[in-house]
Amino acid sequence: MKVVTRFAPSPTGRLHVGNIRTGLHNWLWARKQGGRFILRIDDTDLERSREEFVAAIREDLAWLGLDADEEDRQSARFDRYEAALARLAEAGRVYPAYETAQELELRRKVLLGRGLPPVYDRAALALTDTERARLEAEGRKPHWRFKLDHGAPIAWHDLIRGPQQLDPALLSDPVVRREDGSWLYMLPSVVDDLEMGVTHVVRGEDHVTNTGLQIQMFEALCAAPPAFAHEALLVGSEGKLSKRLGSLGVEAMRDAGIEPIALLAKLARIGTALPVEPATSLEPLIEGFDFASFGRAPARFDLEELAALNARILHQLPFEAVADRLPDGMSADDWAAIRPNLRNVAAAADWWEILHGHVARPAAEEDRDFLAGAAEAAAGLDWREAPWPQLVAALKPERSGRALFHPLRLALTGRDSGPEMGVLLPLIGREEAVARLREAAGA
């Protein structure tokens, strides 16, 4: 059986870290198994869905490198859902209900007030044809509910949570279609998974009850359900569900200078027994993906940890991976020199100015004579050999330690810290280095 997974975001906003993680895990499993990954745009809510968000979803997945083998739109499949509803109606597994939202909410409050679970009482099933005709004559349109089979517990083996069981008698018959004719998530998802051959569904643990309901829908349509894996939800670094995560998306990550592979490396491993490690490609993430490694505890997403991981990955990225985002003219040698001190690629522009622009930083009074001497020493070096060790050797009789190195670094780079001077100085060059030292000395 060929593995088929799917990612079904709603185009009502940008992707955020929670659904990116879900999409990534579906993608990783499909790629590890040599299967197929489907992008399914859940645009059944025509009022809230926006084409700009469809485009944004495609753009975000492309930036992350998560390629889809197929793309489908649920809005193009309404006829398939109609056909499924008709089949279920013929089998007595869906029924029309006429309660308004206000009536249902009142019943819910009454049940809760009595200490009872707010389960729908199936009052609509007791309506006669005459009563239904009267309600429709009053202008009421029905919503449609799926009739759960209360005969036996709903059971399945979850790839992360292990054996699962739900008592359908404690659940309300789910609404599958609203009174305005629009579809809710439940039935279209089942129809699509069935007709697209989806074998595995990876999603958040907040869908566990939905899975139980949908398993009965698969069975009512005479089909075997896919395998399910429900992963723990993301939480913020403070240990509680963080509202910030809901708005933290790819756009914000790009603006913050986060590399796509850093975000993927983080989201692939948090919540598992595997360590979050720097990666420069998706291959190790694919190879290491294993449902058995997932834990049940909430997965903690920390922005500071992501930034630190991003820096570690950036320090390993080859010039070719970033060349199109570097200042024009920056060479592979330039990149190799400044890479260990960057937290994001955008910061390379500052070091470009340090390497190839002009830095002017007047020195403290007590360092000026020393720097004047350093300028003369630098002018006399053989720059075909490593100039920094030569310069240090020439100045050591006068100073040592921090008193030697710190004023030289400030004068040559304008910074208190940075890459090794032995790497930087040849890139700065003889003429500019001498000019900076003389200017710092006030000459």
Nearest to 218 by CA among 149, 118, 151: 149
Give CA torsion, residues 343, 344, 348, 349, to 10 deg.
-120
Q: What pLDDT, on the 0 to 100 scale, is given for residue 251?
A: 84
pLDDT bucket at 252, cuts 50 / 70 / 90:
confident
Q: At a CB cut-off of 8 Å and minimum separation 6, what does 198 contact?
A: 4, 5, 6, 38, 192, 226
User: Residues 85-119: pLDDT tens digits?
Assistant: 999 999 999 999 999 999 999 999 999 999 999 99
Please report which confidence band the pLDDT of residue 245 belongs to, taking 50, 70 and 90 as the band edges.
low
From 391, 384, 370, 385, select the one nearest 433 (Cα to Cα). 391
Q: Across the strands, what pairs with 36? A: 4
pLDDT tier for residue 130 given thresholds of 50, 70 and 90: very high
Give the model's pLDDT for residue 39: 98
Rg (CA), the chain: 31
Q: What is the mean pLDDT of residues 112-140?
A: 95
pLDDT of 296-349, one tens digit each? 998 889 889 999 999 999 999 999 999 999 999 999 999 999 999 999 999 999
- In the chain, the percentage of residues whose pLDDT exceeds 70 is 98
Q: What's the CA gap between 208 and 210, in Å, rounded?
A: 5
DSSP SS3 for 164:
strand
Per-residue pLDDT tens digits for 187-230? 999 999 999 999 999 999 999 999 999 999 999 999 999 999 99
Answer whether 0.75 is exceeded by the pTM.
yes
Give the orientation angle of helix 260-269 with respect to helix 17-32, to 10 degrees.
Answer: 80
**What is the predicted pLDDT for the residue at 185?**
92
d(CA 234, CA 270): 9
State the pLDDT at residue 68.
98
Amino acid identity at 24:
L
Q: What are the C-alpha distances in Å from 179 to residues 203, 282, 387?
A: 28, 45, 80
205: left (phi over 0), alpha (psi -120 to 50) or beta: alpha
Residue 238 has pLDDT above 80, yes or no: no
pLDDT at residue 303 in the model = 87
pLDDT at 424 over 70: yes
Q: Where are the domains of the chain?
A: 319-356, 365-440
Domain 365-440 class in CATH = mainly alpha
How is residue 313 written in tokens? Answer: 């990955």
Mean pLDDT of 428-437: 95
pLDDT tens-digit series, residues 262-289: 999 999 999 999 999 999 999 999 999 9
> Model confidence at 249, in pLDDT bands (50, 70, 90)?
confident
Contacts of 51 (CB under 8 A, 6+ apart): 11
Buried b (16+ CB within 10 A) or exposed e, 402-411: eebeebbbbb
pLDDT tens per residue across span 339-385? 999 999 999 999 998 998 888 888 999 999 999 999 999 999 999 99
CA distance 57 to 51: 10
Q: Is the pLDDT of residue 241 over 70?
A: no
pLDDT of 154 above 70: yes
